[in-house]
Amino acid sequence: MFKEYNLENVEAKVNEALKKAHKSHELYNDVVTFIDPRAQLANMPKTGKMLGVPIALKDNVCTKGIRTTACSNILNDYEPIYDATIVKKLAAAGAISICKTNMDELAMGGTNLTSNIGACLNPWDTSRMSGGSSGGSAVIVASGAVDFAIGSDTGDSVRKPASYCGVVGVKPTYGRISRYGIIPYSSSLDHVGYFTRTIEDAAVALEVLAGRDDLDMTSSDRPVEAYSQQLNSELKGKKIAVFKNVYDGLTNPDTKALFAKLIANLTAKGAIVEEVSFDEKLLKAILPAYYLIANCEATANHSNLDGIRFGVRKPGKDVEEIMINSRTAGFGSLIRKRFVIGSYGLFVENQEKLFRQAQRVRRLIVEEVKRCLDEYDCLLAPASNDIAPKLNDHGRDELSDEYLIIENHMIIGNFTGYPSMTVPMGMINGCPIGVNLTCKAFAEQTMFDIGAGIEEITGLKDLKKEAA
């Protein structure tokens, strides 16, 4: 926890964290690049909310002079000439970045199996995946090497791996944290998010990260609240909407039982818990609409990764051939598939019926989320149907209701931009599973408060799986 750090023995503690991070990497492949902390230690501030806290950054966060690959071959030798705004903010708060973490290539994917350095393994069971795309960040926090790691969340890329790895995963409101210097995926859905092992640390971290940044025109100038000072785990009177479709659709009886137990405990603590139903048709439209919007935006955002303007250049007889060769060698098969979908959706003749139609569907889904949350403080549902899947589990039917609804409902947090967080809910066969809560825009305080109440109920505060 952040409180355990300060200026005392800072160098020794950072080196200790680095040692643990190396161990974690050996076991789980969660790190892309280690960072020499000496320059940061020499330039540390004397005060700050994260003084001396060793931290990790997802490898899509630009770090000046430090390799930033987003786990894609095309960015294999990319060294940014500037720091992302959040990197500066974390340094100003006294945090020390010790490594860049493994991720799905360009943050596309939910498994961390598509990274160019290979899969990231789940510390609770190494035959299982970490989840993605921010897998390395989830794992390095779960393994106890660091207490904080930055991730990014476009569909659920912080909240899903948080569930699988047993840590807290936060995606604040769209615009709450500057995205300047984050390699983009889908600009209307991308959020900076992060991992901790306690709600209190999550509250402190948002105080450090949030705020207007003139370098990101989508960042909000709404004042940043004193989330950690105001933190209050009192559940009495909190109005919680249980996401009925997700609850009903759970096929894993253990997950269902854990969730039912949590609901009973919330009620016993005085929360007002009621079920709300989401329009089923709209619910099933979430994933298709998401894929269209995300892939179209990604295709546009990454058109500069061509070996000419950006990226590793491959030889060719003319500009076109250089681009084709660079992009063919530079991207993995999932990325190439997604660019095909994205390009197709952006064809002049398809734009109206695909890309724009998907945006209209998104609008309807946002209205439906608003309706569901209208009278409640948060919408609650398990973050997934099951614990982390096995590494070789490719047999999922992506058109099944289970997949469409249970595995993808957290995308509502990206469609609406509302704050959403996953907190550990319990253990099944020795592996963790999380519960997700989504609140109204800029209601991060409420989200942390309810999260703190849940943390007290489950007793899973500071859960970690340290290497033996």
Q: Any idea what DSSP says for residue 390?
A: B
Active-site residue, selected from the candidate residues 20, 58, 100, 440 = 58
| Binding flag, residue 294, ligand GLN (CB under 6 A) | yes
Minimum CB–partner distance for residue 18 and ligand GLN (Å): 27
Question: Mapping DSSP to helix (H, G, I), strand (E, B) and coil, where does residue 259 land?
Answer: helix
Minimum CB–partner distance for residue 159 and ligand GLN (Å): 9
Annotate 4-43 with DSSP letters as a single string. Answer: G-SSTTHHHHHHHHHHHHHHHHHHH--EEEE---HHHHHT
Interface pattern 118-137 for ligand GLN (x via CB under 6 A): ---------------x----
Question: Mapping DSSP to helix (H, G, I), strand (E, B) and coil, where does residue 381 land?
Answer: strand
Length of the chain: 468
Interface pattern 150-179 for ligand GLN (x via CB under 6 A): --xxxxxx----------------------
Active-site residue, selected from the candidate residues 97, 115, 130, 133 = 133
- Give the footprint of ligand GLN on residues 35-54 (CB under 6 A): none
Gap between the Cα atoms of 58 and 254, Å rounded: 32
| Binding flag, residue 436, ligand GLN (CB under 6 A) | no
Minimum CB–partner distance for residue 155 and ligand GLN (Å): 3
Q: Which is nearer to ligand GLN, 385 or 445 (CB)?
A: 385
Minimum CB–partner distance for residue 421 and ligand GLN (Å): 14
What are the tokens at 404? 């469409």
Question: For this structure, is 277 an active site residue?
Answer: no
**CB under 8 A, 24+ apart: contacts of 270-274:** 270/235, 270/236, 270/237, 270/238, 271/235, 271/236, 271/237, 271/238, 271/239, 271/240, 271/453, 272/237, 272/238, 272/239, 272/240, 273/240, 273/242, 273/380, 274/239, 274/240, 274/241, 274/242, 274/376
> In whole angstroms, what separates CA 354 from the centre of its chain?
27
Gap between the Cα atoms of 12 and 6, Å rounded: 12
Minimum CB–partner distance for residue 334 and ligand GLN (Å): 8
Q: Which is nearer to ligand GLN, 113 or 294 (CB)?
A: 294
Minimum CB–partner distance for residue 348 and ligand GLN (Å): 25
Cα angle at 55 between 52 and 61, to 5 degrees? 130
Question: For this structure, is 157 an active site residue?
Answer: yes
Q: Which is nearer to ligand GLN, 134 or 143 (CB)?
A: 134
Task: Report whether 423 contacts 437 (CB < 8 A).
Answer: yes
- Give the footprint of ligand GLN on residues 181-240 (CB under 6 A): 185
Minimum CB–partner distance for residue 71 and ligand GLN (Å): 12
Exposure on the CB side of residue 230, measured as CA atoms within 13 A = 14
Q: Taking contact as CB under 6 A, which single stretch among the options 149-157, 204-212, 235-243, 247-255 is the one that binds ligand GLN? A: 149-157
Minimum CB–partner distance for residue 42 and ligand GLN (Å): 35
What are the tokens at 281? 């048709």
- Give the footprint of ligand GLN on residues 79-118 (CB under 6 A): 107-110
Q: Which is nearer to ligand GLN, 143 or 384 (CB)?
A: 384
Size of interface with ligand GLN, in residues (CB under 6 A) = 13
| Binding flag, residue 418, ligand GLN (CB under 6 A) | no
- Give the footprint of ligand GLN on residues 257-286 (CB under 6 A): none
9 phi and psi angles, rounded to 5 deg: 50, 30
Interface pattern 315-354 for ligand GLN (x via CB under 6 A): ----------------------------------------
Task: Report whether 380 contacts 409 (CB < 8 A).
Answer: no
Q: Any idea what DSSP says for residue 173?
A: -
Q: Which is nearer to ligand GLN, 15 or 359 (CB)?
A: 359
Gap between the Cα atoms of 40 and 54, Å rounded: 11
* Strands, E assignment, 154-287: 168-171, 191-196, 239-243, 272-276
Q: Which is nearer to ligand GLN, 263 or 335 (CB)?
A: 335
Q: Which is nearer to ligand GLN, 91 or 388 (CB)?
A: 388
Active-site residue, selected from the candidate residues 24, 72, 115, 157 = 157
Q: Which is nearer to ligand GLN, 342 or 424 (CB)?
A: 342
Gap between the Cα atoms of 108 and 274, Å rounded: 35
What are the tokens at 313? 């250049």
Minimum CB–partner distance for residue 186 and ligand GLN (Å): 8
Q: Which is nearer to ligand GLN, 133 or 245 (CB)?
A: 133
Question: For this structure, is 58 an active site residue?
Answer: yes
Active site (catalytic) residues = 58, 133, 157
Interface residues toward ligand GLN, by CB under 6 A: 107-110, 133, 152-157, 185, 294
